[in-house]
Structure 1
Amino acid sequence: MDSDITYLGKIIRVDSSTVEVEVSDDIPSSAPIINGRLYKIGQIGTFVKMPMGNIITYGIVSSVSNTPSKQEDNQTKQIVGSRFLSVQLIGEKIGDDDFEKGIGTYPTINDEVHLVVEQDLFDIYGEKNAGSIEIGKHSSSDNLSVYVDIHKLILRHCAILGSTGSGKSNTTVSILKAILDDYLGSRIILVDPHGEYASAFPKSKVFRINDSSAPLNVPFWLMTFDELAFFLVGAKPTDDQRPEYRLLREWITNFKKEHYQLKSGNVNPDFITADSPIPFSVRKLWYEMNWWLNATFSESTKDKQTKDTVELAKDENGKSKNGDYENLKPAEFKPYPMGNSAPYKSKHQDFYSYEKKLLSRLKDSRFDFMFHPGDYKDISSSKDLHDLLNDWIGSESKLAILDLSGVPFEILDITIGLITRFVYDSMFWGRNKSYTGKNRPILLAYEEAHTYLSKNDNNSYSKNAVERIFKEGRKFGVGALVISQRPSEISETILAQLGTLIALRLTNSGDQSIVKSSSPDNLNSLIDLLPSLRIGEAVIVGESIKIPSRVRIKLNNPRPTSEDPKLVECWSKKHEPCDDNYKSVVTNIREQRINSTKGDSNG
């Protein structure tokens, strides 16, 4: 076979994962034309094959070297060179069986090595089947489609990583569209912190804060007690020895136990805890705090200061000024004198900081999507959590985009953690239902993951929730996709559980090393290509792809709104100044939302 036009040379060294090949000096050209197609010998990242009877072993060229040496005869001194290829072994094909990753039979010294031609690549990648989606075209051939196993891509979790401008958003759109187009029963939630993806998926259901048709409602009472305590009053689990923290838990539990008759079904009050996702009035909670903080009593001893001995103020008609918790109006009490006489000042001052923080939260309109969640406000509202799940994961629209661009950054972590935990809990507790759980898996996709899944934040609610999916989600039908430009900042637990890596151009050495160490396949030669990849080109490694590959991702249209502005075109036009400019911009800043074109001028 050394006379074949595909012949490269022979193996001179073998170890557990690589072989070294000495390229034959008899090869007529370094760029042979085979079946009308030009092939480059020794191109980094290209495939070679090593036939051994009915077994063909495949590898990827990782490095090329040329060692010159002097060779003398009687008449002349001639300098010749030996060319060497380092090849990483990746898999084998036995007879007519399909290609499989992993090596069962290793090649040996002097075994032949041949170029892999286009037909060999078709034999490796095969045809599209019911369990795969097309992810792009192979970089070495525009005719060769590359497919990934959808089961392993989703349930073994995956990541799309790349520097800014490398094509992450376009790759995300390509993968999600391929899933939505090929699988009628698929369902996906895309967490979109910057509101970029709605334009790319016109048929999706997009939830936004303050949107009239599909508002994003995340009821505050969906939180666990630890999340609530931190969100409402800034308390942490380490405060559990403080009396006000324990009383806060008791009050919230009692408020929830009052509302055990729910539209999703009645709940046994004995099973209700402070963590149970049951509606209650947070304004009533504030009113209770304020009441005990400011009340005056006929008794001075703390353990005798009860609601039976309170000294309420009265209006001109003799009626008690009890206040109005819905409108955040506190109750009024008889003022206490300076001396030691009735009425006495409240001895319950523990809630001073809690009450001030909670009142500040309730008056902040940025949190209305949690405190006033539309039809999910309280027990008297028209909808319950089953309606929320139906909107997010049970509707006819297979893709739900949660546009979090209007969420204050300080609670983005809790919001994403809350959404993730709620969806995960629905899959866990519904794991045997015919319409959800293991019988209808779901993909949760996290854009800009490094901003809230940071490895350095040990108190991150979103990180804890997403890590749980990466560790346990597969068993209950929950898969995850993280999208990030800074993999070096992402939780190590998440990176360690990735089954598939889709890595676009990465120029930062720290990010490259993280991808290299997190790669499910030991193919450093492909990972080393990351700085030189073209825009929209990716290295794909892991369980879902038959063979680690360099792939071109097609350009999608419509696109997400993450592309660069057309700087030259914009700066080439003269813009006339106008006094009314920036009015709507300032309004958007103040309202923390993007209005349409209100206040725009032609300047």
Structure 2
Amino acid sequence: MSNKETYLGDVQDVSGTSVSISLSAESLTGFVYIDGQGYRVGQIGSFVRIPVGYINLFGIISQVGASAVPKNQIENEVVGNRWMTIQLIGEGPKNGLFQRGLSQYPTIGDEVHLVSEKELKNIYGQPDKPYFVKLGHVSNADSIPALVDVNKLVTRHSAVVGTTGSGKSTTVASIMNALSDVERYPSSRVIMLDLHGEYGQALQDRAYIYKIDGNYKSKLKEKKLYIPFWALNFDELCEISFGEFKDEKVKNVVMERVLKLKLDSLKISPRKGASADTLSVDSPIPFSIHQLWYDLYVETFGTYYKVAGMQPIDNLAYEKDANGIDLIGDASKGIAPVFKHVETGAGEAKINYLPGSHQIGKQLLLLGTKLRIPRYDFIFKPDNWLPDKDGKVVDDLNLLLKNWIGSDRPVTILDLSGIPADILQTTIGALLRLLYEALFWARNLSQGGRHRPLLIVMEEAHIYLNYDSKGMASKIVQRIVKEGRKYGIGAMIVSQRPSEINPTILSQCGTFFALRLSNATDRGHITSAISDNLDGLTGMLPILRTGEAIILGEAVKLPMRTTIQAPPKNRRPDSQDPIIYDEVPIEDSQNPGGWGLDMEPNPNYEELIETWRSQNPKIDKVK
């Protein structure tokens, strides 16, 4: 190929990484042929090269037309000249490998050439390299695979952003399929926080699914999700159990009680790595929160008789049931005792021993309710991880973590769709902290992240990582994106509203998969978060087709507009839009309903109320 075929024009102005060129008269046709293939000149997002000595500088066209004229050239501009602005992104020796960054800049008069598809193949990398995964193909060059560097993708963090309906969930599923290829990556491990239960169907052949109301007999063979309350730190435990303490004195009393219960548990059941000297209120040591609640409840609401020579605690005044038996309640079931209403008089008194007991009454009533409601059982009654009165448990945290990040399948899906909304953010924060601390302290072990890195995928991240959020999740994710790389923990942030995500978190993402984004504020956050000055490329985000993404950042050799290869229809996330009218014949349609079909004449709305009350969609019942 001669230089004349690819020649576009000459450099006329250089300002940092922004270069203005004037197109030559020979390229005014706007269409050139290279190796028998036609190329349109001046397409936004196209690549150009500038030969400088023994190397080529590479750039992306970001602006074309009158607005691309440099300010210092406007007065001398000749009518009819055409201009183009490009953003420099890297360099490479002629016929060699491309690398990001610049060692030198072009000068006035340097020639600018179009990059052909053949040259792009050398730049983008070769698909036979094991650290590259193929996600599709470059949109304007079907023969060029879209390759992503796994090393940079996982530990340097990433973000997948796109408006609802842009193909975001399908893109994530495609990435997960590529990363969980056990033939290529037999030791890969990924954990997904799935807030809407979308990914079980898409990844069922390579993932274990944990859900708080999971049913192993279901089609997806879901397992029960448990997060033992005693594995939480004290702040997480308070938020989930008691709510906010307005009186710091009462909070300190609860803290002392928890610490004492953990110390007593450790004396009865010694545990390797823990001792009375190193124990803190945040240590993951089993204790009975049911007994803690019961004791505090009695001390707060109990009615006592004064009897000479006896402790008041031994003289509780209970109401009696129809058989004359004291209504002492049941700590294990969260059933509160019922006390007599005693009028203070001679020899009688109601005594409350807990300092500020009037301040904790509301929190105790709230915790008692949670101990009784089945939807909170995944935390307060975690099956084999539920401690007895003395803090003894059947299984310890090692089995829990082995299930999540040490199983024989590369992906673990934590389906959080059934978690009560009032504790969702704190629960997510606790989950992430458990994973981070486990791999942080195991960093020198084979189970740790340095030897076997972990990718954490956070779906609907704007819900719990939003800009104003000061919750547990936001704090721990900021720590993960800042420090996780050193310990083999990578984060993938998935969101339809990047503008609502904490900017500290977004700025630490090294790679972006940007699908269609219609909102200008969201596009602005992506533009400001990426390291390259590619306003022209991100300006294409509103017009991307469904399933098309611009991939930018460290995991790709060059920013590229990519058509993501979607998984088979029966392996796509359960996030497709309902079809209002389907022209496909009923027997061939995947749509279970729609406005164009005659529905059942007498629908059973008792089932609707049943699923509503049970807070379980019961997918198997859908006909």
Q: Same fold (TM over 0.5)?
A: yes
Residue 604 of structure 2 corresponds to which residue in structure 1?
A: 581
CA distance in 1 between counterparts of 2:320 and 2:539 reads: 79
| CA contact 1:49–1:114 (8 Å) conserved in 2 | yes
| CA contact 1:8–1:24 (8 Å) conserved in 2 | yes
| CA contact 1:300–1:344 (8 Å) conserved in 2 | no
CA distance in 2 between counterparts of 1:132 and 1:3 reads: 32
| CA contact 1:441–1:479 (8 Å) conserved in 2 | yes
Greater CA drift, 497-506 or 310-319: 310-319
CA distance in 1 between counterparts of 2:3 and 2:228 reads: 73
Residue 187 of structure 1 corresponds to which residue in structure 2?
A: 189
Counterpart pick for 1:310 among 309, 315, 319: 315
CA distance in 1 between counterparts of 2:560 and 2:252 reads: 56
Residue 126 of structure 1 corresponds to which residue in structure 2?
A: 125
CA distance in 1 between counterparts of 2:95 and 2:448 reads: 39
| CA contact 2:286–2:393 (8 Å) conserved in 1 | no
Counterpart pick for 1:283 among 259, 265, 290: 290
CA distance in 1 between counterparts of 2:48 and 2:180 reads: 35
Note the C-alpha offset of 1:258: 2.0
CA distance in 2 between counterparts of 1:583 and 1:104 reads: 71
Counterpart pick for 1:206 among 199, 205, 209: 209
Written as runs of structure 1 = structure 2, the 5 A alignment for 1:15-164 is 15-27=15-27, 29-66=29-66, 81-128=80-127, 129-164=129-164
Given the alignment of the two structures, is residue 482 of structure 1 paired with residue 493 of structure 2, yes or no? yes
Counterpart pick for 1:399 among 411, 433, 437: 411
SS of residue matched to 1:51:
strand
| Distance change (3 Å), C-alpha of 1:589 and 1:33 | same
Counterpart pick for 1:538 among 546, 549, 553: 549
Given the alignment of the two structures, is residue 242 of structure 1 paired with residue 248 of structure 2, yes or no? yes
Residue 547 of structure 1 corresponds to which residue in structure 2?
A: 558
Counterpart pick for 2:367 among 358, 361, 384: 358
Counterpart pick for 1:451 among 452, 463, 472: 463
Counterpart pick for 2:386 among 377, 380, 403: 377
Alignment deviations for residues 162-189 of structure 1 (CA, whole Å, 9 cap, x no partner): 1111111111111111111131111000
Greater CA drift, 270-279 or 51-60: 270-279
CA distance in 2 between counterparts of 1:305 and 1:508 reads: 72
Residue 332 of structure 2 corresponds to which residue in structure 1?
A: 326
SS of residue matched to 1:82:
coil
| CA contact 1:262–1:384 (8 Å) conserved in 2 | no
Note the C-alpha offset of 1:435: 2.5
Given the alignment of the two structures, is residue 566 of structure 1 paired with residue 575 of structure 2, yes or no? no
CA distance in 2 between counterparts of 1:319 and 1:66 reads: 92
2:211 partner amino acid? R
Residue 234 of structure 2 corresponds to which residue in structure 1?
A: 225
Structure 2 residue ranges without an equivalent (≥5): 68-77, 217-222, 583-593
Alignment deviations for residues 500-537 of structure 1 (CA, whole Å, 9 cap, x no partner): 11111100000011111011212111111111111111
| Distance change (3 Å), C-alpha of 1:255 and 1:193 | same
Structure 1 residue ranges without an equivalent (≥5): 68-78
Note the C-alpha offset of 1:597: 4.5
Residue 424 of structure 2 corresponds to which residue in structure 1?
A: 412
Residue 437 of structure 1 corresponds to which residue in structure 2?
A: 449
1:269 partner amino acid? A
1:567 partner amino acid? I
Note the C-alpha offset of 1:320: 7.2
Written as runs of structure 1 = structure 2, the 5 A alignment for 1:239-278 is 239=246, 242-260=248-266, 265=272, 267-278=274-285
Residue 76 of structure 1 corresponds to which residue in structure 2?
A: none
CA distance in 2 between counterparts of 1:179 and 1:208 reads: 23
Alignment deviations for residues 122-160 of structure 1 (CA, whole Å, 9 cap, x no partner): 121121323222232112200001222211111111000
| CA contact 1:190–1:400 (8 Å) conserved in 2 | yes
Note the C-alpha offset of 1:341: 2.8
Given the alignment of the two structures, is residue 594 of structure 1 paired with residue 617 of structure 2, yes or no? yes
| CA contact 2:61–2:87 (8 Å) conserved in 1 | yes
| Distance change (3 Å), C-alpha of 1:321 and 1:584 | closer
| CA contact 1:263–1:384 (8 Å) conserved in 2 | no
Greater CA drift, 376-385 or 534-543: 376-385
CA distance in 2 between counterparts of 1:300 and 1:39 reads: 99
SS of residue matched to 1:296:
coil
CA distance in 2 between counterparts of 1:154 and 1:117 reads: 31
Counterpart pick for 1:526 among 534, 537, 543: 537
SS of residue matched to 2:186:
coil
1:199 partner amino acid? Q
**Number of residue equivalences:** 584
Residue 345 of structure 2 corresponds to which residue in structure 1?
A: 339
SS of residue matched to 2:141:
coil
Note the C-alpha offset of 1:334: 6.2
Note the C-alpha offset of 1:292: 0.7
SS of residue matched to 2:137:
strand
Q: TM-score, normalised by structure 2?
A: 0.88
Given the alignment of the two structures, is residue 515 of structure 1 paired with residue 539 of structure 2, yes or no? no
2:281 partner amino acid? A
| CA contact 1:520–1:543 (8 Å) conserved in 2 | no
Greater CA drift, 227-236 or 546-555: 227-236
| CA contact 1:449–1:490 (8 Å) conserved in 2 | yes
Note the C-alpha offset of 1:587: 1.1
| Distance change (3 Å), C-alpha of 1:289 and 1:104 | same
1:433 partner amino acid? L
1:255 partner amino acid? L
| Distance change (3 Å), C-alpha of 1:168 and 1:344 | closer
Residue 70 of structure 1 corresponds to which residue in structure 2?
A: none
CA distance in 1 between counterparts of 2:549 and 2:495 reads: 14
Q: TM-score, normalised by structure 1?
A: 0.91
| Distance change (3 Å), C-alpha of 1:2 and 1:63 | farther
| Distance change (3 Å), C-alpha of 1:482 and 1:263 | farther
CA distance in 1 between counterparts of 2:66 and 2:256 reads: 76
Alignment deviations for residues 375-431 of structure 1 (CA, whole Å, 9 cap, x no partner): 211244421100000000001011000011111111110111111000101101111
Residue 587 of structure 2 corresponds to which residue in structure 1?
A: none
SS of residue matched to 1:120:
helix
Given the alignment of the two structures, is residue 177 of structure 1 paired with residue 177 of structure 2, yes or no? yes
Note the C-alpha offset of 1:283: 1.6
CA distance in 2 between counterparts of 1:162 and 1:145 reads: 22
| Distance change (3 Å), C-alpha of 1:28 and 1:296 | closer
Note the C-alpha offset of 1:267: 2.9
Give me the CA root mean square deviation: 2.7
| CA contact 1:313–1:333 (8 Å) conserved in 2 | yes
Alignment deviations for residues 84-111 of structure 1 (CA, whole Å, 9 cap, x no partner): 1111111111244411111212111111
| CA contact 1:311–1:343 (8 Å) conserved in 2 | no
1:208 partner amino acid? K
SS of residue matched to 1:10:
strand
CA distance in 2 between counterparts of 1:146 and 1:497 reads: 23
| CA contact 2:27–2:41 (8 Å) conserved in 1 | no
| CA contact 1:322–1:331 (8 Å) conserved in 2 | yes
CA distance in 2 between counterparts of 1:150 and 1:400 reads: 19
